[in-house]
Amino acid sequence: MRRRLCFLFFLLFLLPRFNPLLAFSLKNCTIEYSADITDVSVTCRDRDLAAVPDDIPETAVSLDLSSNQILRINRTDLSGLSKLVYLQMVLNSMSHIDDGAFADLVELTDLDISYNHLTNLTDNMFQGLTKLVSLSLNRNQIAYISPLAFQTLINLQKVDLNINELHQITDIVSILQLSSLNELDIGINRFTTFESDDLHLNISNLMILQLKLNPLRKFSITKDVFPHLQSLDLSKCSIGFGWNVPDKTFLRGLTSLYLSGTEISFETYSAMLQSAESVEYLWLSYTTEWFDKGLIDVACQIPALTSLYLTFNDIHVLNDTLLQPCSKITELDLVGNVMTALSENSLRPLSQLMELQLHHNFLPRVPLAIRGLSSLAVLSLSSNDIGELGCSDFLNLTRLMHLYLSNNRISKLRGCVFQELKILQLIYLQENPIYSLDDTFKVSLRNLRILNMHMNDFKGLNEGDFGNLSSLLSLDLESQSECRVENGTFEGLDHLQTLILAPYSLRTDMFRGMPHLKNVTLFLPNFLNSLSHQVHNEPPFLNVPSLRKLIIQNNNKYTMVISPDLLRGLESLEHFAAVNFFAGSPHQDTFTFTPRLTELQITNSNVSHPKPELFRPIPGLKSLDLSKNKLRSLDFLAQVDLPALSWLKLRENELMVINETVFQSLPALTYLDLLGNPFTCDCFNIGFIQWVKSNNQTQVLNAYRYACSFPPSFQGSKLLDFDIQSCWMDVNFFCFISSTCLVVLTLLTSFIYHFLRWQLVYSFYLFLAFLYDSRKRKKESPHRYDAFISYNVHDEAWVYREMLPVLEGEQGWRLCLHHRDFQPGKPIIENITDAIYSSRKTICVISRRYLQSEWCSREIQMASFRLFDEQKDVLILLFLEEIPAYQLSLFYRMRKLVKRRTYLSWSQAGQHTGVFWQNVRRALETRDAPTENTNLLTAALAPDQARGYD
């Protein structure tokens, strides 16, 4: 914890302040990942936005603002987005767009404003969109279009105004006048007529016109204004619809015609079909009532007709006569007709038929009618009720290339079923209950490229089941239940590149015989048997050295313990994905055998502490997904060497605190996804928050949506909304106070040392004296000595030679000397104190050596304190030698004492030592009366000399 705090304080001073101009993680949007960093695609879809975000990068090429609550587009909302090419604003609530709102979008080619509430298009709404190619405005409430609204859209090719409130054909004249216009959809509006006389234009380059579900009562082309029209949709017009095209050449380019609904009379249908001699693709839906009158006969008389779509016409049984006149048809679509049968001869007239669509009906078997269609290349029987395939069902379909049989009830395939289909290239059999192949694919299908048997019910696949499919490129065998795969099952698939399988177990020999296999997807069954043992003990991919992509998804609720040899032999592997597969962090040698790996996904597993050594064999890794694991720390990333990693996804782990410094080891990182982690909103995450907001290389996907889980008071709040200033203020204030105190303390210490150190020492000694004085006063002990002699050891000879013989020998005073009277073993400071307070007087024998002695200094300090405290004449100063004022040191500081005391000088006594000792005697004889204003001692000094020590 201490190390983290120190690092945090250090980081706060080093991290750069947030610069919004460098922001790369957007507040409400996401920059979609792209290998091309110049192709910036931004999506703000479904974010509950009420306005266009203001942090869209100016380099954005694509912007999706769909599914929000944006009410209007202001003039400046999209300013600066000069590189935008694609703009989607679908499913909002926009009712107004300012003129010139798109003026800066000079590169825009596609604009989609569908599903909004626009009511009119103004003069300058699309100003600046000179490169716009496609404009979608469907599902609005547009009732009026200004004649000048489209004048600047000189490159516009496609306009979608489907489902609006337009009712006057003159509203679209300005659109039709655009020379570049190719496609116009004005279906489901309120147009009642479409007449060329109302358009007031000479010619239009329109190629596709959709007018479906308008209440049209009249369609009239009386002049050659649409010479390039190729597709026309007039489905579901109103009752009494009228058709007026007097000259067939006016629709000479028409190749696709969509008609539906019985609101149009049979006569009108006939007139329309007779005017469309160049139509190749004809849709006749919901027109069953006119079949009996010969509508199909009229349609099939169109000279150019090749494709007939009769969808949703409620045909229960296709009879022999309906298609009799349609011998030139090459494509027939009967989807969604609830058919239960086709008569045996119903398709016989269609000798040139190449494509037949019969899906989404109720056919219980393959119709006999298809037999003998020797030209048929594509047959779709998906989503019917077929329960069995017979050996002769596809008899004589020698040119069939694509066969769709998915979503039926087929349970078994026999070897004879496809024996006639020599050039078959594609078979779709997904979502059937097929449990056995028998010898189905042992027949010669050497041209088959794709076999899709997804979600069947295989019980087992045997050796040689696919032996004759030597040209097969893709094989999907994902099963709904356990599937035993024998060794050699895929032998002979020399060109197979993609295999999807749900095996019961994995063995090395299982993939033998597929030298060009590049993509394998394995769906492990939702049970445990020998699979764990096999995966743990045998490297299963030794025989597929060309494999590039491997996906393993474990559908069992238990993860597995995997051997580090799992990927042995896959030196060419580039993509590996494992879902719910690893029981814990993969062994550090797992990727030793895949040096070319660039994409790695390990999700829904129990990875908690991956070792850095795991990634060292794959330095070229570009994409890493470790979502839905148990990661609590990203420290392992700080120790890996992945210079090419640009995409990192870590969703739904247990990350609480992110150390942003780990990303310094990933220099190419441009995309980071951490959504769904239980972040902590505290100061330990401020480094990460700062990094997210300020770095201009790595986009942290949906960073502004990251929610906090801890502490409880912040639960549910957004991580990037956490007030990092509180951390800055607290830490800065703490650092400021600390540094200020340190500076002041340093200055104060220096000042005291240089100017006040002696005063402090003096105060200390006074304090000690006070303590001992208080103690002695409580004891009230009588005086044992007349005087305590305080002297330096170097002056001891003078004391014994001069002082003791006179004061003790001649005058009879009781003196206390430290070398003689101090109690052995007792602390020196206590001996000194006892001596001072046990004596009536203290005589300080002062010399230069005395002033330099620590103990002498303590003695005089304590005696001085007694003098000041008791206000008694207890201190006698005796100078052995003349001492200059600057050498008095502590005594120099005791001004009161020196000013108010008279002192004795041995050096001034000269030959008059008798007088000197008499003065000492007089001083010793004085009692305890105060001496504040009285000089009791007379020094042998001149007055001015005595004052020289002040």
Report whether 873 contacts 926 (CB < 8 A).
yes
474 phi/psi in degrees, rounded to 5: -135, 130
Q: Above 50 in pLDDT, residue 948?
A: no
Residue indicated by tokens 């000094």? 941
Task: Dig out the tokens for 531 from the structure.
Answer: 């699979």
Nearest to 328 by CA among 358, 293, 299: 299
CA distances from 404 to 183, 424, 681, 703, 880 (A): 33, 11, 56, 46, 130
CATH 3.10.520.10 given to domain 755-949: no
Strand ranges for 217-365 from DSSP E: 218-220, 231-233, 242-244, 256-260, 281-285, 307-309, 317-318, 331-333, 341-342, 355-357
CA 833 → CA 414, 765, 775, 784, distances in Å? 122, 11, 10, 13
Return the number of other C-beta atoms located less than 10 Å from residue 749's C-beta: 10
The residue type at 345: N
Q: Tell me which of 881 and 81 has the higher pLDDT.
A: 81
CA end-to-end distance (rounded Å), the chain: 61
Residue carrying structure tokens 């902590």: 680
In sequence order, which residues have a C-beta less than 8 Å from that of residue 290 and are 6 or more positions away?
262, 266, 269
CA quadruple 124, 129, 132, 136: dihedral, nearest 10? -40
Task: Report phi then psi at 627, rounded to 5.
Answer: -70, 155
Which range, 67-71, 169-173, 890-894, has the best average confidence (pLDDT)?
A: 67-71
What integer pLDDT is reported at residue 950 of this predicted model?
A: 30
Give the single-character DSSP code of 64: E
DSSP state of 197: G
- Closest to 111 measured CA to CA, from 132, 81, 82, 139: 132
Q: Which region among 463-477, 670-684, 826-840 has the lowest average model confidence (pLDDT)?
A: 826-840
Cis peptide before 711 (omega within 30 of 0): yes
- How far apart (Å, rounded) are the C-alpha atoms in residues 32 and 678? 24
Over range 485-498, report the average pLDDT.
90
Q: CA-CA distances (angstroms) from residue 553 to 272, 296, 413, 524, 558?
A: 57, 52, 28, 6, 12
Residues 437 and 445: their CA atoms lie apart, in Å, by: 15
Predicted confidence at residue 775, as pLDDT, reads 60
**Tens digits of per-residue pLDDT, 634-690?**
999 999 999 999 999 999 999 999 998 999 899 999 899 999 999 999 989 999 999
Q: Where are the beta strands (DSSP E) in 489-540?
A: 498-501, 519-524
Tell me, letter by letter, the H, E, C secondary structure of 563-628: CCCCCCCCCCCCEEEEECCECCCCCCCCCCCCCCCCEEEEECCCCCCCCHHHCCCCCCCCEEECCC
Distance CA 331, CA 293 (A): 23
* Distance (Å, whole) CA 269 – CA 293: 11
Is it the case that residue 480 has pLDDT exceeding 70?
A: yes
Instruction: State how far the Cα of 606 lies from the Cα of 222, in Å rounded to an integer.
Output: 74
Tell me how crowded residue 1 is: count the other CB atoms within 10 A of its CB: 5
| Token representation of residue 581 | 């597969």
pLDDT digit string, tens, across residues 303-342: 999 999 999 999 999 999 999 999 999 999 999 999 999 9
Q: From residue 1, how far is each of 4, 6, 9, 663, 694 by CA, in Å?
A: 5, 9, 12, 22, 27
The bridge status of strand 699-701 relative to strand 785-790 is: unpaired
Closest CA to 882 of 927, 929, 846, 934: 846
pLDDT tens, position by position, 3-40: 444 433 333 333 333 333 334 788 888 888 766 556 78
Which residues contact residue 599 at a Cβ distance below 8 angstroms, ignoring those fewer than 6 apart?
574, 575, 576, 577, 621, 622, 623
DSSP 621-649: --EEE--SS-----GGGGG---TT--EEE
The mean pLDDT value for 568-593 works out to 92
pLDDT, position 759: 62
What is the pLDDT confidence band of residue 526, given thresholds at 50, 70 and 90?
A: low
Q: Which residue has the higher pLDDT, 449 or 482?
A: 449
Q: How far apart are CA 61 and CA 186, in angstroms?
A: 29
Considering the segment(s) 306-457 as one domain, its CATH architecture is: Alpha-Beta Horseshoe (3.80)
Residue 52: the pLDDT is 95
Length of the chain: 950
User: At residue 433, does pLDDT exceed 60?
Assistant: yes
Beta carbons within 10 angstroms of residue 265's beta carbon: 15
Amino acid occupying residue 569: G
**Six token digits for residue 806:** 């006179």
pLDDT of residue 530: 39
Cβ atoms 704, 27 nearer than 8 A? yes
pLDDT band at 468 (very low <50, low <70, confident <90, very high): confident
Residue 1, pLDDT score: 41
Give the residue-averaged pLDDT of 567-572.
93
Reference 928, options 841, 829, 843; nearest CA is 841
Rounded distance, CA 336 to CA 316, Å? 10
Q: Is pLDDT at 919 greater than 50 in this prediction?
A: yes
Note the pLDDT tens digit of each residue in 777-825: 555 556 888 898 888 888 888 888 888 898 888 888 899 988 888 888 7
pLDDT confidence tier of residue 283, bands split at 50, 70 and 90: very high
Contacts 24+ apart (CB under 8 A), 443-448: 443/415, 443/416, 443/418, 443/419, 443/468, 444/419, 444/468, 445/418, 445/421, 445/469, 446/470, 446/471, 447/422, 447/423, 447/471, 448/424, 448/472
Residue range 197-240, pLDDT digits in tens: 998 888 999 999 999 999 999 999 999 999 999 999 999 988 88
Contact 707, 717 (CB under 8 A): yes
pLDDT at 923: 84
CATH T-level fold of 33-177: 3.80.10
CA atoms within 13 Å, Cβ hemisphere of 397: 28
Say which residues have a Cβ less than 8 Å from residue 329's Cβ, sequence separation at least 6.
Answer: 300, 305, 306, 307, 308, 323, 350, 352, 353
What is the DSSP annotation of 462-496? -TTTTTT-TT--EEEE-BSS--EE-TTTTTT-TT-
Instruction: Confirm if 385 and 360 have CB atoms less than 8 A apart.
Output: no
At 890-906, the pLDDT tens digits run 544 443 454 455 578 88
Reduced to 3 states (helix: H, G, I; strand: E, B; else coil), residue 141 is coil
- Can you tell me the distance from the alpha carbon of 857 to that of 888, in angstroms, rounded to the nearest whole number? 11
Please state, rounded to an integer, the average pLDDT across all residues of the chain: 85
The answer for residues whose C-beta is within 8 angstroms of residue 780's C-beta and 6 or more apart is none
Backbone angles phi and psi of 945, in degrees to 5:
-70, -40
Tokens of 69: 């609550």
Compute the CA torsion angle 605, 611, 614, 617 (nearest 10 deg).
160
CB within 8 A of 568, min separation 6: which ones? 539, 541, 542, 593
The token pair at 936 is: 């009791």
